[in-house]
């Protein structure tokens, strides 16, 4: 099963890098058997160092000046469920006309993503009067363009970072839906969206207590939907295998439908039967894969049950 | 079989290795250990006696690989490789540290892992300083694509230095154990050990790994035998007079010859099976009652 691409968008200072560090800090140790690990162990050391500086010294990471792709695996019981490529880019790349290459690369990654995560700082949702960052305004346009150019929709997670600063999150959700990103919540739009408040902790910049909350849920949502797709693909492959087996069984019957033919074609019949066995073995393995995928899906689903998550499809709220 | 010890600097990997080797110079339930090189034997025995006197080996400076063999009733039944390395390598980047790069390769090729966590550090209750996260990362890199069963023994070293492992210590190690429990191909166990004047549980992590390794070997051998017999049957089905004639003219073996070849392969594997089974049974009896975690227990 192939890895998925996740692009995180958001204005400079919205907390994209901090979110990724917190997510990794929590998930690299794991929750209920689930872990996220870097595919390159060296990246693990870099992320751990950055997180340690934040957690121990209270040193916030510098604004990202270079874009980078991080490769992670989501695993259950150390067994890889899904790999995902996380594109951490320079905040402001979308709107900075002085560096058109950055914007071009970002848009390309955006189009090839299996899930888009948009960071909106809880700070802009304070007092019920939204200050809509430039990147967020652009986002509506981007999603429409995405739909037009690719002909598809992908799951979108709107991460409300610094949610501890937003006093009324329910009001904040309404602001996002009605004022900021209405494109994603229009009936008939086909978008699958989740609004997820996350927090790194509480306190002021100088006196901050690190206590990450919900940081693993956005990626969990992305992987959940990727697994659903994998299950559908596997079921199609099983169906194709079974069709092939039926065809070969018919051929075997044709080859051996008389005593003489059965003797004359003994070798070919043995070959076809061997091929049928191999196909049946392959089907068995795919069925086992499917069961594993379904089991993993159920496990991930348990993480996504909760009133603090706002999931919408085609503009209508739903729960898993 | 290749067994790799995984643990940070100073947790007691080298001490453990010398202790388990020294202890298994005397037969335990018929089992003992040998090594290919007498120089390794001398060094390990020297370290063992120092540990018994309360004097512990220095931190390991370099990686070493040992060729050990498990002896049952003085007969060699199961050779295995054992890797010891500088614990600091765990926290180094493989892009800049040769030892880190080799450690990563060793882990990828390992058939058994012994994970070391030391009790005094666990007692601090701090997940970050315990280094558990790094151990989980390295295990994940190793196990993410592995579908076969693999033994992992989590040992809590220096157990004699703490009176009781409290809740905060369990909280530190719990994510690792939870992940092992969630696995359907890890056969895991966890236990405290102590190496010193009194040796506690020292031989068990090794014997556990070897027990699983031997049983996996037996299982794989049985499967190969079955596969060879199936192939032999398939070749027999294709064998006929025309095949014999073709073979006489072209010089290629007949399907019947190929079938015989497969049967011979099956028989030689069967004899190997017969040699290992008594040792496996005896080890199983010795380890009965050992708590197992992980889906591999099925």
A79 and B136 within 8 Å at the Cβ level: the answer is no
- A303 neighbourhood in chain B, CB within 8 Å: none
Angle (deg, nearest 10), helices B132-143 and B167-182? 10
B164: how many CB neighbours lie within 10 A of its CB?
8
Asked if residue B114 is part of any domain, the answer here is: yes
Same domain, B130 and B186: yes
Q: How confident is the model at residue B15 (pLDDT cuts 50, 70, 90)?
A: very high
A55 and B128 within 8 Å at the Cβ level: the answer is yes
Q: What's the pLDDT at A93? A: 53
B202-225: b or e for each residue (b if 16 or more CB lie within 10 Å)? bbbbbbbbbbbbbbbbbeebeebb
The candidate with the shortest Cα–Cα distance to A22, out of A196, A193, A144, A258, is A196
Residue with tokens 């110079």: B25
Higher local confidence (pLDDT), B2 or A2: B2
Question: Per-residue confidence of chain A (320 residues) as pLDDT tens digits?
Answer: 689 999 888 877 777 888 888 899 999 999 889 999 999 889 999 999 888 887 777 767 666 566 778 999 999 999 888 999 998 766 555 555 555 666 677 777 777 888 999 888 888 877 655 667 777 777 888 888 888 888 888 899 999 988 887 778 888 888 888 888 888 898 888 899 999 998 877 776 666 677 788 888 999 999 999 999 999 999 999 999 999 999 999 999 999 988 888 989 889 999 999 999 999 999 999 999 999 899 989 989 988 887 788 999 988 888 88
Same domain, B79 and B143: yes
B94 and A77 within 8 Å at the Cβ level: the answer is no
Q: How many CB pairs under 8 A join A and B?
A: 92
CA distance B237 to chain A (A): 7
Same domain, B147 and B262: no
Asked if residue B257 is part of any domain, the answer here is: yes
Question: Could you give the CA distance from residue A151 to residue A29 in angstroms, rounded to a whole number?
Answer: 38
Asked if residue B49 is part of any domain, the answer here is: yes
The candidate with the shortest Cα–Cα distance to B203, out of B159, B276, B153, is B153
Same domain, B222 and B209: no
Asked if residue B293 is part of any domain, the answer here is: no
Domain of B206 in residue numbering reads as 2-214
Residue B81 burial class via C-beta count within 10 angstroms: exposed 0-12, middle 13-18, buried 19 and up = middle
pLDDT at position B168 over 90:
no
Q: What's the pLDDT at A121? A: 84
pTM, full prediction: 0.83
Same domain, B150 and B184: yes
In this structure, is the dihedral angle defined by the CA atoms of residues A280, A286, A291 and A294, taken in order, positive or negative?
negative
Residues 6 or more apart in contact with residue A54 via CB below 8 angstroms: A18, A21, A60, A61, A210
Percent of chain B at pLDDT > 90 equals 57
Residues 6 or more apart in contact with residue B43 via CB below 8 angstroms: none
**CA A29 to centroid of chain Cα atoms:** 19
**Among B169, B189, B214, residue at a domain's last position:** B214
B 93-152 → A contacts, CB under 8 A:
93-95, 100, 104, 127-128, 132-134, 136-141, 143-146
A45 and B181 within 8 Å at the Cβ level: the answer is no
CA distance B90 to chain A (A): 10
Q: For residue B148, which phi and psi values (nearest 5 degrees)?
A: -85, 165
Average pLDDT score over chain B: 90
Chain A interface includes B204 (CB < 8 A): no
Q: Are strands A156-161 and A115-121 parallel, antiparallel or unpaired?
A: parallel
Number of structural domains chain B divides into: 2
Same domain, B24 and B142: yes
Residues 6 or more apart in contact with residue A137 via CB below 8 angstroms: none
The three-point CA angle A125-A128-A132 to 5° equals 50
CA distance B250 to chain A (A): 18
A126: how many CB neighbours lie within 10 A of its CB?
16
Rg (CA), chain B: 23
The candidate with the shortest Cα–Cα distance to B291, out of B200, B180, B213, B215, is B180
CB contact at 8 A, A114 and A226: yes
Residue with tokens 């290992």: B276
Question: Could you give the CA distance from residue A202 to residue B212 in angstroms, rounded to a whole number?
Answer: 48
Residue of B96, B102, B106, B144 to mutate, testing the A interface (most A Cβ within 10 Å of its Cβ): B144
A interface with B, Cβ–Cβ < 8 A, is 28-35, 37-39, 41-42, 44-45, 48, 52, 55-56, 73, 75-80, 266-267, 270, 274
Same domain, B195 and B245: no
Q: What's the pLDDT at B32? A: 94
Tokens of B227: 């596969």
- B235 neighbourhood in chain A, CB within 8 Å: none
Question: Could you give the CA distance from residue B23 to residue B200 in angstroms, rounded to a whole number?
Answer: 11
pLDDT at position B240 over 90:
no
Asked if residue B284 is part of any domain, the answer here is: no
Q: What's the pLDDT at A91? A: 56
- B93 neighbourhood in chain A, CB within 8 Å: 42, 45
- B133 neighbourhood in chain A, CB within 8 Å: 28-29, 48
Q: What's the pLDDT at B209? A: 95
B136 and A35 within 8 Å at the Cβ level: the answer is yes
CB contact at 8 A, B33 and B71: yes
**Among B161, B192, B214, residue at a domain's last position:** B214
What is the SS3 assignment for B246?
A: helix
The candidate with the shortest Cα–Cα distance to B110, out of B70, B82, B79, B76, is B82
pLDDT at position B184 over 90:
no
φ/ψ region of B165 (left if φ > 0, alpha if ψ in -120 to 50, else beta) reads beta
Q: What's the pLDDT at A97? A: 55
Same domain, B181 and B75: yes
Asked if residue B41 is part of any domain, the answer here is: yes
Q: What's the pLDDT at B57? A: 82
Find the CATH number of the domain harbouring B97: 3.40.50.300
Asked if residue B130 is part of any domain, the answer here is: yes
Nearest by CB: B295 against A29, A37, A77 = A77
Residues 6 or more apart in contact with residue A104 via CB below 8 angstroms: none
* DSSP state letter for A62: P
- A33 neighbourhood in chain B, CB within 8 Å: 178-179, 181-183
CATH entry, A4-226+304-318, from 3.40.50.300, 1.10.287.130, 3.30.70.20, 3.40.50.970: 3.40.50.300
H or E segment and range at residue A301: helix A266-303
pLDDT tens digits, B75-133? 999 999 999 888 788 999 988 898 889 988 898 899 999 999 999 998 888 888 888 99
* Dihedral of the alpha carbons of A278, A284, A285, A287, in degrees to the nearest 10: 150
Q: What's the pLDDT at B38? A: 92
Asked if residue B178 is part of any domain, the answer here is: yes
Same domain, B176 and B250: no
Same domain, B147 and B255: no
Same domain, B139 and B265: no
The three-point CA angle A93-A94-A100 to 5° equals 70
B237 and A55 within 8 Å at the Cβ level: the answer is no
Same domain, B143 and B251: no
How many CA atoms does the CB half-sphere of A319 hold within 13 Å? 7
A42 and B133 within 8 Å at the Cβ level: the answer is no
B183 and A44 within 8 Å at the Cβ level: the answer is no
């Amino acid at each position: 099963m192939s890895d998925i691409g996740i692009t995180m968008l958001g204005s400079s200072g919205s907390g994209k890098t901090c979110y990724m560090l917190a997510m990794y800090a929590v998930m690299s140790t794991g929750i209920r058997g689930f872990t996220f690990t870097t595919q390159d162990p060296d990246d693990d050391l870099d992320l751990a160092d950055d997180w340690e500086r934040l957690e121990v010294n209270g040193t916030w990471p510098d604004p990202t000046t270079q874009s980078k792709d991080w490769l992670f695996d989501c695993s259950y019981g150390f067994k890889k469920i899904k790999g995902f490529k996380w594109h951490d880019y320079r905040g402001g790349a979308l709107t900075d006309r002085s560096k058109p290459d950055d914007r071009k690369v970002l848009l390309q990654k955006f189009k090839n993503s299996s899930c888009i995560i948009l960071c909106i700082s809880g700070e802009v949702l304070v007092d019920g009067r939204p200050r809509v960052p430039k990147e967020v305004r652009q986002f509506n346009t981007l999603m429409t363009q995405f739909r037009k150019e690719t002909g598809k929709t992908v799951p979108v997670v709107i991460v409300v970072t610094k949610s501890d600063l937003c006093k009324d999150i329910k009001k904040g959700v309404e602001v996002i839906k009605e004022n900021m990103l209405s494109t994603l919540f229009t009936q008939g739009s086909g978008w699958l969206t989740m609004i997820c408040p996350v927090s790194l902790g509480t306190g002021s910049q100088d006196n901050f207590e690190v206590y990450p909350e919900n940081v693993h849920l956005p990626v969990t949502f992305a992987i959940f939907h990727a697994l659903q797709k994998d299950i559908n693909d596997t079921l199609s492959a099983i169906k194709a295998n079974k069709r092939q087996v039926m065809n070969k069984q018919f051929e075997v019957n044709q080859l051996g439908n008389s005593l003489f033919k059965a003797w004359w074609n003994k070798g070919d019949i043995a070959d076809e039967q061997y091929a049928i066995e191999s196909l049946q073995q392959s089907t068995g393995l795919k069925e086992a894969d499917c069961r594993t995928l379904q089991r993993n899906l159920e496990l991930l689903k348990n993480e996504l049950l909760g009133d603090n998550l706002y999931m919408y499809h085609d503009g209508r709220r739903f729960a898993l | 079989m290749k067994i790799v010890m995984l643990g940070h600097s100073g947790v007691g990997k080298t001490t453990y290795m010398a202790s388990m080797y020294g202890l298994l110079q005397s037969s335990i339930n018929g089992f003992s250990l040998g090594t290919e090189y007498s120089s390794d034997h001398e060094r390990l025995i020297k370290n063992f006696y120092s540990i018994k006197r309360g004097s512990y080996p220095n931190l390991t400076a370099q990686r070493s690989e040992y060729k050990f063999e498990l002896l049952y009733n003085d007969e060699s039944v199961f050779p295995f490789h054992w890797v010891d390395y500088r614990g600091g390598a765990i926290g180094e980047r493989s892009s800049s540290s040769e030892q880190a790069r080799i450690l990563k390769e060793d882990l990828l090729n390992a058939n058994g892992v012994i994970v070391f966590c030391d009790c005094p550090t666990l007692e601090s209750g701090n997940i970050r300083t315990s280094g558990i996260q790094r151990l989980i990362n390295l295990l994940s890199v190793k196990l993410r694509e592995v579908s076969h069963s693999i033994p992992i023994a989590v040992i809590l070293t220096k157990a004699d230095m703490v009176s009781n492992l409290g809740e905060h210590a369990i909280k530190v190690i719990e994510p690792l154990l939870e992940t092992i429990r969630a696995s359907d191909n890890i056969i895991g166990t966890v236990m405290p050990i102590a190496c010193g004047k009194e040796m506690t549980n020292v031989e068990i992590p090794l014997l556990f790994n070897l027990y699983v390794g031997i049983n996996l070997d037996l299982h794989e051998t049985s499967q190969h035998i079955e596969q060879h017999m199936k192939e032999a049957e398939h070749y027999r089905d294709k064998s006929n007079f025309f095949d014999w004639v073709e073979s006489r003219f072209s010089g290629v073996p007949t399907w019947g010859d190929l079938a015989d070849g497969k049967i011979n392969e099956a028989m030689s594997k069967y004899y190997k099976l017969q040699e290992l089974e008594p040792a496996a049974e005896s080890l199983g009896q010795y380890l009965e009652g050992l708590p197992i975690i992980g889906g591999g227990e099925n």
